[in-house]
Chains A and B, each alone.
Chain A
Amino acid sequence: MDIKDFIAPFAVWKRAFEKPFTVKKPIDERPGAPRYRGFHINDAQKCIGCGTCEAICMNKAIDLVPAAGYAAKEGDSGLRPRVDYGRCCWCALCVDVCPSGSLGMSNEYVWIDSDPEVFRYTPGVEAKPWDGSPLGYRRAEGYRLLEEQRVEMPELDYKEAVQTFLELVRGYSRQQAEKEADRCVSCGVCIASCPAHMDIPGYINAVREGDMQNGLRLLYETNPFPEACGRICTHRCEEACAIGTGGDPVAIRWLKRYIADQVELADYGKVLPRAEADSGKKIAVVGAGPGGLSAAYYLALLGHSVTVFEKDSEAGGMLRYGIPEYRLPYPALDKDIGYIESLGVKIERGTAVGSAVALAELRSRFDAVYLSTGLPAAYSLEVPGDKHPRVLDGVAVLAAATRGEPLGLGKRVAVVGGGNVAMDAARTALRNGAAVDILYRRRKEDMPADPDEIREAIAEGASLVEKAIPLEVRDAAGAIAGKQALFVWNEARMVQKEDGKRPVPEAIPGAVHEDPYDSIIAAIGQGPDLSFIGEADRLELRRFKPVVDGFGRIAEAAAGAAAEPGAPASASPSKAAAVFAGGDLVNDRKDAISAIADGHHAAQGIDRWLDRKGS
């Protein structure tokens, strides 16, 4: 103890004349730091209501509630998160995890009210003074709790791929599949977008858990073509994927394929359900495409005896004849079909309804008939000269390739169209050694084909000519007449004719091109072939489409009282069995998964119909 210990403490007095540290609230504002974790803000337009914020919240402070002005639609649940500040701990994990990045926090921290109920609100839906605040906590650049990038799918090198018909996409390994599956947040927003409403989070979770048997069981609940759909599905689910709002969508399609690839066909029976009892009913299915066989599968599960009539020599429909084997190898398709046949479904191959057997005969021999004949007839170019022998039909080219027939496309090939058939025809031509131009009347972004297919076709060497309106096909002159054709087309520009509608191509005067080709493949769409339905069948068609009710049953033209659902069979004017229809023939989506969904739906409809009729 020295003298300093008595004097030093008086040093505090020097502070008496200094400016105080304190802030004079409310005279001086003291805003939160730019990263302050204050009250929530949500960009409700960007938010899709996936509920991942709710799932991560350890305090259960978040509820998903319907929000005025936001209806449920594909890729948006119509729900928005509501925060209960009685529970919120301001950790901002909800902000970190938000797949779309719509959720954030303002730097506002002062909110006083005598009513405790107000401290529970839906940010971005119920207006608050801090809405749109540029300051406040946001997920930092370079920091994500969820993986943005999809596990890259191993593919053949394009230069190598174009030499062969080997499958381009190699499939995930176990490690890759589990890593990809782990990206999913199981929100289920995708389910509504799948025409078959598959349990996507369920089977992705099965991949994550490594439980392939459960995965397969979940797949077959709604889709008996997992091998095929795991490869060529139009995967509308991925467009709705919550993860896709802030990165690559989860590779739902590849994961489906992964599950099906892992289980041997011989083991399917151990996992999948079977009919409990034979119903004694016989059902005919016309067309062994995905829709017809899907109906057959679910009808067989319900105990019905099913016979499928197929005009071609092999089953599979467009999956076999319209999709080249480098996208869907035949063994994979055969596995799907093989399992359906193993349930006792009979497929009468090479039996065309209309010529080999009449529809009326089926209606008398069977208790119900399901039409799933698809769209086999290609549209023509509808320009002068489109009957030239070198103008080929895309679907026919693909079918010939499937049958292994020589295609004789020549060295230079034009493919006209922008859909998947056009891409497949182009890529088939490339594999036959041709140089290929794809001519499409609109822009690349307007093409209806799957973006992957467009990307792959171009990567394999096809050149894309956009905004090309076909004008005429002329025979080549001289010695090559009849062996080559001149394709005449007009360059176009895109014109916005009506607001809110997509722009239309308009020919640029004078910008006409003429190119010689060995083959011109028209792939601009297909229509139905309903020639097997006669007047006497009295089935109602409108614009070449059967008119179906909620059961999938085709309305019968009135000749007396139409059979009402539930009416006794004897009351029906026609002794003939009811006819149902689905797939491309009926729906507007025109893809395999929709046909499969129709088949499933029709199987249930037929079953209920027979039940009602029988009782």
Chain B
Amino acid sequence: MKRDRMPYIPPAERATPDLDSGKYLLMWQGPQHPGITGNMSLRLVIEGDTVVDCETHVGYLHRGFEKLMERRSWMQNFPLVCRIAVPEPDFNEYCYAAALEELSGIQIPEKAVWLRTFSLELMRLASYLMWIGGQAGSFGHGTIIQWSATMRDYVLDLFEELTGGRIYHMYIIPGGVRGDVPAGYFKHVLEVMDTVQKNLDDIELVMYHNAVFKLRAEGLGYIPPDWIDRYGITGPNARAAGIKRDLRKDLGYLAYPQLEFQPVVGSKSDAFERARLRLQEMYQCIDLIRQCIDLMPKEGPFRAKTPNPLYWKVPAGETYVAAECTRGEYGFYVVSDGSEKPRRVAVRGPSYTHAVSVMERLVRGVNIADVAGLMVSLHTYPPEIER
């Protein structure tokens, strides 16, 4: 298909507007960021200022990771996987490392388990801070992102201090993590957590007790509970519909069974409910980070021995390792044929359904001005669709 041709709209269950009638307007939203989501585009058919049809188009962030990984050794893929989801790279590192360890029969030390849990929660917080700015911004609230981006930068400072990188941390390496925490680090973390928490209080006051935000978000993008399984919806999008599912609880990976928390569940299942739920999860992140710091063993090795990275052969087999990221079920399906390179790595990103099938359905009947807000309320990242 060439982009200069009108895309074909299949008949079943879809609007077939007669563009010649002059009643409808065809317009593209994107491929620049339609909200803080990464590059993808929505081909919208508008009637007045109401969307009557939507087709999603992805591919602007396709870099062929799954193919590239088949050409690289198991360890060489470690710095590659984080790039699949830019705002939340650590989940890629974790899923890939855990899959590799499972196939190779490697047990990681307890300290590594805790440091991984800690860094994943820190990542979740940073990712939510970016999301909340996007959510507010897409509804015209420019102030919130000024605050939340700053808070995110403070969290990224923490990552920089721990891992040496701000965006791509490359910390969760197969076998464990790449280093223990530097001296005085947790004190610094706790200070930042206090600052973030204080700012979240401000954000809650300004954004969630805001008539404009409420008017626009309430009732927007309602996901009926029976869609959850039909569409494969996971994470906060599912929990906001009252479905109590959280892989951290359900799969009990890493140190989560030892942490005290309950999945945050909503009921109204609209954009405001999802936003409210995510804010509560941000507070939960801060709590989990504090718990991690309390419970983490102070001493001990942080990495298990792994074979020579140049010649590491992973026993033949396959596994699927999933983790609860901010958007839902993030997973790596890894197949080894016993050689020095993966046979197949497939990445399951929650946006695969949230940004495509779910988005296309939800956007119908929405005011054109709310499309970006709706998309951000589903919290989508195109790169995990395209890999």
Interface residues in chain A, defined as those with a beta carbon under 8 Å from any beta carbon in chain B:
1, 4-6, 8-9, 11-12, 15, 21, 32-37, 52, 55-58, 89-93, 96-97, 105, 136-137, 140-143, 145-147, 182-186, 208
Interface window among B6-14, B176-184, B329-337: B176-184
- Measured between C-beta atoms, what is the minimum distance from A203 to chain B in Å? 15
B179 touches A5 (CB 8 A): no
Partner of A90, one of B153, B168, B215: B168
Are B79 and A89 in touch, CB under 8 angstroms?
A: yes
List of B residues within 8 angstroms of A147 by Cβ: 305, 308
| B105 to A: closest C-beta gap in Å | 15
> What is the minimal beta-carbon distance from B96 to any residue of chain A, in angstroms?
13
Our count of residue pairs bridging A and B at CB distance below 8 angstroms stands at: 110
**Cross-chain pairs A/B with CB under 8 angstroms, 25 sampled:** A4-B209, A9-B212, A11-B205, A33-B161, A34-B161, A35-B162, A35-B164, A36-B160, A56-B76, A57-B76, A90-B165, A90-B168, A91-B78, A93-B78, A96-B178, A97-B310, A137-B164, A140-B179, A141-B180, A143-B179, A145-B75, A145-B309, A146-B309, A182-B311, A186-B310
Residue of B nearest to A21 (CB): B150
Given contacts A33-B164, A56-B309, A186-B310, contact A8 B76 (CB under 8 A): no
- Known contacts A11-B206, A58-B72, A58-B76: does B164 contact A97 (CB below 8 Å)? no
Indicate if the CB atoms of B165 and A58 lie closer than 8 Å. no
**Interface 0/1 of B158-196, CB less than 8 Å to A:** 001111110010100000001110100000000000000
By CB atoms of chain A within 10 A, which of B78, B182, B214, B308 has the most?
B308
Question: Which chain A residues lie closer than 8 Å to B160 at the CB level?
Answer: 32-33, 35-36
A93-B79 in contact given A58-B72, A183-B308 (Cβ < 8 Å): yes
Whether the pair B307, A182 counts as a contact (CB closer than 8 A) is: yes
Q: 17 extra interchain contacts, Cβ-Cβ under 8 A, other than A36-B160, A142-B301, A142-B303?
A: A8-B210, A21-B150, A34-B161, A36-B165, A56-B310, A58-B73, A58-B76, A91-B79, A91-B170, A93-B76, A93-B79, A140-B179, A141-B180, A142-B180, A143-B179, A146-B309, A184-B308
Report the bound CA distance from A146 to B301 in whole Å: 16
Cα distance A182–B72 in the bound complex, in angstroms: 19
Cα distance, A57 to B72, chains bound together (Å): 10
Give chain B residues whose Cβ lies under 8 Å from the Cβ of A137.
Answer: 164
B157 interfacial contact with A, CB 8 Å? yes
CA distance A86 to B311 in the complex (A): 27
Contacts of B309 in A (CB 8 A): 56, 93, 97, 145-146
| Residue B306 interfacial (CB < 8 Å) | yes
A560 to B274, CA, bound (A): 105
- Of the four ranges (under 10, 10 to 19, 20 to 34, 35 or more), the interface on chain B belongs to 35 or more
Task: Select from chain A the residue with minimum beta-carbon distance to B162.
Answer: A35
Is the CB–CB distance between A143 and B302 below 8 Å? yes
Main secondary structure of the interface of A (DSSP, over half): loop
Residues of B within 8 A of A185 (CB): 308, 310
With most chain B CB atoms within 10 A of its CB, the pick from A58, A182, A186 is A58
Contact B210 A9 (CB under 8 A): yes
Bound: A240/B275 CA distance, A:
62
Chain B residues within an 8 Å CB radius of A141:
180
- A1 near B308: Cβ-Cβ < 8 Å: no
- Which residues of A are found within 8 Å of B153, using beta-carbon distances? 21
Q: CA–CA, A33 to B157, complex, Å?
A: 8
Give the 5 A-B CB pairs with smallest separation, nearest first: A91-B79, A140-B179, A58-B76, A8-B209, A35-B164
CB distance from A15 to the nearest CB of B (A): 8
Interface flag for B119 (CB, 8 Å): no
- Nearest A residue (CB) for B158: A33
Determine the residue in chain A with the shortest Cβ distance to B149. A21
* B143 adjacent to chain A (CB < 8 Å): yes
How near does chain B come to A449, taking the closest CB pair, in angstroms? 32
Determine if A55 and B214 form an interchain contact, defined as CB atoms under 8 angstroms apart.
Answer: no
How many Å from the CB of B152 to the closest CB on chain A?
A: 11
B residues in contact with A36, CB < 8 Å: 160, 164-165
Residue of B nearest to A38 (CB): B164
CB–CB A182/B308 < 8 A: yes
The residue in chain A whose Cβ has the minimal distance to the Cβ of B69 is A58
Among B59-74, those with CB < 8 Å from A are: 72-73
Query: Chain A contacts of B162 at CB under 8 A?
Result: 35
Are A35 and B163 interface neighbours, CB within 8 A? yes
Contact digits for B294-322, partner A, Cβ 8 Å, 1 yes 0 no: 00000001110111111100000000000
Chain A nearest CB: distance from B218 CB in Å? 9
Knowing A52-B310, A145-B309, A183-B308, the reply to whether A6 touches B211 (Cβ < 8 A) is: yes
* Residues of chain A with a CB closer than 8 A to B76's CB: 56-58, 93
Q: Which residues of B contact A21 (CB under 8 A)?
A: 150, 153
A182 to B310, CA, bound (A): 9
How far does the alpha carbon of A137 sit from the alpha carbon of B162 in the complex, in Å?
10
CA–CA, A208 and B307, complex, Å: 11
Checking A90, A93, A142, A184 against B302 with a beta-carbon cut-off of 8 angstroms, the contacting residue is A142
- Tell me whether B80 is interfacial, beta carbon within 8 Å: yes
Instruction: Kindly list chain B residues whose C-beta atoms are within 8 Å of the C-beta of A12.
Output: 143, 206
> Closest CB of chain A to B159's CB: distance in Å?
9
Chain B residues whose CB sits within 8 angstroms of the CB of A11 once the complex forms: 202, 205-206
Q: Can you name the residue of chain B whose Cβ is closest to the Cβ of A96? A: B178
Any A CB within 8 A of the CB of B269:
no
CA distance A36 to B168 in the complex (A): 12
In whole angstroms, what is the CA distance A4 to B306 when docked? Answer: 58
Most-contacted residue by chain B among A34, A105, A145 (CB, 10 A): A145
Tell yes or no: B77 within 8 A of A by CB: yes
B-side contacts of A58, CB under 8 Å = 72-73, 76-77, 79-80
CB contact between B211 and one of A5, A92, A184 (< 8 Å): that residue = A5
**Given A56-B76, A185-B310, A9 and B209 touching (CB < 8 A)?**
yes
A130–B134 alpha-carbon span in the complex (Å): 38
Contact A146 B164 (CB under 8 A): no
Bound-state CA distance A414–B306 (Å) is 49
How many angstroms between the C-alpha atoms of A137 and B310 in the bound complex? 22
Determine if B211 and A55 form an interchain contact, defined as CB atoms under 8 angstroms apart. Answer: no
Kindly report which residue of chain A lies nearest to residue B174, judged by CB atoms.
A145
Q: Which residue of A lies closest to B303 (CB)?
A: A143
Nearest B residue to A37 via CB reads B164
Minimum Cβ distance to chain B for residue A109 (Å):
10
A34 partner residues in chain B, CB cutoff 8 A = 161, 182
Chain A residues near B170 (CB-CB < 8 A): 91-92
Chain A residues, CB < 8 A from B206: 8-9, 11-12
Structural contact, B307 and A92, CB atoms closer than 8 A: no
Residues of the B chain whose Cβ atoms lie less than 8 Å from the Cβ of A33: 157, 160-161, 164
> Nearest Cβ in chain A — how far from B223, in angstroms?
23
List the A residue with the shortest CB-CB distance to B204.
A8
Contacts of B301 in A (CB 8 A): 142
CA distance in complex: A8, B165 (Å): 37
Q: Is the CB of A93 within 8 A of B165?
A: no
Instruction: Give complex CA distance A12, B306 in Å.
Output: 52
CB-nearest residue of chain A relative to B80?
Answer: A58
User: Are A8 and B75 closer than 8 Å at their CB atoms?
Assistant: no
Q: Which A residues are in CB contact (< 8 Å) with B161?
A: 33-35
Contacts of A146 in B (CB 8 A): 308-309
Contacts of A184 in B (CB 8 A): 308
B241 shortest CB reach to chain A, Å: 23
Closest A residue to B72 by beta carbon equals A58
Report the minimal beta-carbon distance from B279 to chain A, rounded to whole angstroms: 14
Interface residues of B in 129-154 (CB under 8 A from A): 143, 147, 150, 153
Query: If A52-B310, A58-B72 touch, does A140 touch B178 (CB 8 Å cutoff)?
Result: yes
